[in-house]
Chain A
């Protein structure tokens, strides 16, 4: 047996999807510039479109750029598995991977591929949409079906150019997204890329989840750590995470089941996953997006409700 790493032992993979021109490359460039607060490897399809401040670059060759902030950007063509194997074999493997899917990729397919690859696990599918073009693209003769599939497959939706587009277009795009992907959080793409915890989720692969975002509140999101008061059955945890109120779009951390097993729990948008993990400190990081007042109100209220909830109420069949 290989040594068991904290968490699931697998590197989380976040998939950035969206049709051509939706704003994926802009989001990647922003993320690379901001740094991710972790060793993040970004796999991009169009290496030529990557644009990073030269001062940030530590090393560069034909297919890889290493940045001083810990990010690594790699070109990947049609051999995604080979690229992932390459990352896993690095002396210091990345703590998370972001794959910028091609504009014509069906994200569900890449998510299955990357999430099922040995050593990796799916974190979330985030689909970028441009409010100015979304409606036309979703009705296009050739790519309409694909664009709708990309939105429907998303756990998180990112609206690009939300600051530049006219408010009517943004409202229209939000309505369209809500119709195609009900219940999926819609984030501002620029904010999400500038605040990696918002896009990528909290980093909990270490022994201790870090409190986020630090002493000063982040302008784009709020976070709190909730410590479950005792053991929780996996199915109950699934319900708890699924029922978190809307501004809380991500949750991730560890808990212990009634039979003493440590589990990794995470929610990304509407998707909740519970997986076996190596022993780790029990704590769940909650992240909320949206207007500051809404999210700052939502988090303490949610934690108060969580603390009051009847966790020992295990459901039949849960005793594993």
Chain B
């Protein structure tokens, strides 16, 4: 747009506004990055008669939706991972490559050998991500030595809890064989480092993984991936990861430029990492972040807390009867400390987002919310259960009764549904993970997120899992917990905006909101639900400016 104050009318094959009062349109008038009105060329007449305007029909064959919103991901973690070579059991589509499904050991080793042969610098460490024993069998140090005896090769397991290293990598990590021999969670013969043994490997790998040049290159890939998924707003849902000063400088350099086609809504940690027994919320720190706000990078009223451990790591806290193998999940904070911090935040009027992966984690969050509501009732508080791996139907009703919201990672169903059925918690509970159908039946406002890189940052892919509940094998798992298409599309637009407290700004196409659109090649309501994830994302419009998809 040459003159930013000029009105531009975008016409499209169809506009899905996600505003129930006015669901379908064919034209939208935009000025200064905001929507003046959406409707038809006829209904827009009063604006167009009163002001100079141009009609832009570049989207005449496309479908416009509100810009997609992923209300929970982690650019910092993704920036560490994306520069790795992906060899994955499930397909990963990224802007600069597609990692096709690799589901046997033979195919895994062939792909690894191919990647190794393609690297020019013989000293460059080869770090791959996505290895998983279920699909790729036991890949060992000797097998990696056969790929290269010179180049450090590290397989980083899909859930980040294990690596396998060749001899060159063990030397590169600066590890003494005697320390590996005596470690209970390192297998020197196979080169496998797991759980606490992994810390030894990470100590050697971190200088490489966190090197500034690699990290900023990783953030560039994150930026591309977010645009490629069709997002115009993301939530960074636990700021900072560890090092505030370094992270902020890197994020600001990468995500605050005029060329960035999305905004980032930051939700700070209510307690910094390692504050397991916190006495209360550090409100001065939390409130202080807002002074950094820019046009694209903003801290709002939200604060992040954690109850239980990670879902991919099987460290979620599970109610009886627990895990099949009898292991126990973990608490990220002492429950009393969680309650103290939550109480301070509640009384300060904050919007509290709680990471809960297991049903005992959900139970703790709801018990605390119930006591907070008793002590000081609040309406419209938007206490949000994040991830929502395991839950019970009764908890869903209680979520509704307490006025809470859910932001769910439904990809769990696709990647872990069958694996957890077989070897973690059995069929009944595994098939109802990410219980979205019940949330919809109870009328709980629900968003979908990727927690990227826990799931691909592709909102249409998340919606596809939510609507179909297709597990890794292709079978449907937990059919009763499927979500309607309407609810799934709301969950990546207007309901995601609501979860972030931004529903007056973004999330639907209506007069007054930011002119953020996702440009689709097909209408999600017209394709087979199983084809949802294949709809081409042709690009986005961010605040009135068109950012076509690369390539």
Give me the interface of A with B, judged by CB distance under 8 Å: 19-21, 45-46, 48, 76-81, 85, 102-106, 109, 112-113, 115-118, 141-143, 145-146, 149
Q: With A and B bound together, what is the CA distance between A40 and B205 in angstroms?
A: 30
In the assembled complex, B423 has its CB within 8 A of some CB on chain A = no
Q: Which of A20, A104, A109 has the most CB of B within 10 A?
A: A104
Within 8 A of A (CB), among B195-231: 195-197, 199-200, 203
Interface residues of B (CB under 8 A from A): 175-176, 179, 182-186, 195-197, 199-200, 203, 242, 272-277, 279, 317, 328, 330-337, 360, 363-364
The minimal Cβ–Cβ distance linking B395 to chain A, given in whole angstroms, is 14
- In the complex, A77→B332 CA distance in Å? 13
Tell me the smallest distance from the CB of B217 to a CB of chain A, in Å: 25
> Do A116 and B197 contact each other (CB < 8 Å), given the known contacts A20-B334, A104-B331?
yes
Nearest chain B CB to A18's CB is how many angstroms away? 11
Q: Do residues A113 and B277 form an inter-chain contact, with CB atoms below 8 A?
A: no
> How close is B174's CB to chain A, nearest CB, in angstroms?
9
**Contact A103-B277, Cβ < 8 Å, known A116-B186, A142-B360, A143-B334:** yes
Q: What is the bound-complex CA distance between A46 and B195, given in angstroms?
A: 25
Closest 5 CB pairs of A and B: A77-B274, A102-B276, A78-B274, A113-B196, A116-B183
Q: Is the CB of B195 within 8 A of A45?
A: no
Taking a contact as CB atoms closer than 8 A, the residue among A19, A104, A109 that contacts B195 in the complex is A109
- In angstroms, Cα B182 to Cα A21, docked, is 34
CB distance from B330 to the nearest CB of A (A): 6
- A79: chain B residues at CB < 8 Å are 274
- Within 8 Å by CB of B176, from A19, A109, A118, A141, lies A118
Contact indicator B328/A149 (Cβ below 8 Å): yes
Closest to A82 in B: B203
Q: Which residues of A contact B197 (CB under 8 A)?
A: 112, 116
Question: In whole Å, how far is A226's beta carbon from the nearest beta carbon of chain B?
Answer: 27
The secondary-structure label for the interface of chain B is loop
CB pair B203 A81 closer than 8 Å: yes
Q: Known: A77-B273, A103-B276. Contact between A116 and B335, CB under 8 A? A: no
Contact of B277 with A45 in the complex, beta carbons under 8 Å:
yes
Instruction: Report chain A residues within 8 Å CB of B273.
Output: 77-78
B184-A116 in contact (CB<8A)? yes
Report whether A76 and B274 are in contact in the complex, using a CB–CB cutoff of 8 Å.
yes
Q: Can you identify 25 A-B contacts, CB atoms within 8 angstroms?
A: A19-B334, A20-B334, A20-B336, A45-B274, A46-B277, A77-B273, A102-B276, A102-B277, A104-B276, A104-B330, A104-B334, A105-B276, A106-B328, A109-B195, A113-B196, A115-B184, A116-B183, A116-B186, A117-B200, A118-B175, A118-B176, A142-B317, A142-B331, A143-B335, A149-B328
In the assembled complex, the Cα of A102 lies from the Cα of B364 at a distance in Å of: 19
User: Can you name 20 extra interface pairs (CB under 8 A) apart from A19-B334, A20-B334, A112-B185?
Assistant: A21-B336, A77-B273, A78-B274, A79-B274, A81-B203, A104-B333, A106-B328, A106-B330, A115-B184, A116-B179, A116-B197, A117-B200, A118-B179, A141-B360, A142-B317, A142-B331, A143-B334, A145-B328, A146-B328, A149-B328
A146 contact set on B, CB distance < 8 A: 328, 330-331
Nearest B residue (CB) for A106:
B330
Residue of B nearest to A145 (CB): B328
Of B186, B197, B272, B331, most buried by chain A (CB within 10 Å of CB) is: B331
- Bound together, the chains give a CA A116 to CA B175 distance in angstroms of 12
The answer on a CB contact under 8 Å between B184 and A112 is yes
- A45–B196 CB distance below 8 A: no
User: Which residue of the partner chain, among B176, B182, B335, contacts A142 with CB atoms under 8 Å?
Assistant: B335
Q: When chains A and B are docked, how far (Å) is the Cα of A55 from the Cα of B276? A: 30
Chain A residues closer than 8 Å to B183, beta-carbon distance: 112, 116
Question: Smallest Cβ distance from B282 to chain A, in angstroms?
Answer: 12
**A77 — which chain B residues lie within 8 A by C-beta?**
272-275
**A46 vs B360: C-alpha distance in the bound complex, in angstroms?**
26
Of the candidates A20, A112, A149, the one whose C-beta lies within 8 Å of that of B277 is A20
Chain A contacts of B272 at CB under 8 A?
77
Contact at A142–B275, with CB atoms within 8 Å?
A: no
State A170–B19 Cα separation when bound (angstroms).
65
B364 touching A142 by the CB < 8 A rule?
A: yes
Chain B residues within an 8 Å CB radius of A142:
317, 331, 335, 360, 363-364
Q: Is the beta-carbon distance between A112 and B195 smaller than 8 angstroms?
A: yes
Bound together, the chains give a CA A109 to CA B335 distance in angstroms of: 19
Q: Which residues of A contact B185 (CB under 8 A)?
A: 112, 116
B199 surroundings in chain A (CB, below 8 A): 80-81, 113, 117
Distance (Å) between the CB of A113 and the closest chain B CB?
A: 4
* Separation of A96 and B329 alpha carbons in the complex (Å): 31
Give Cα A102–Cα B197 distance, bound, in whole angstroms.
20
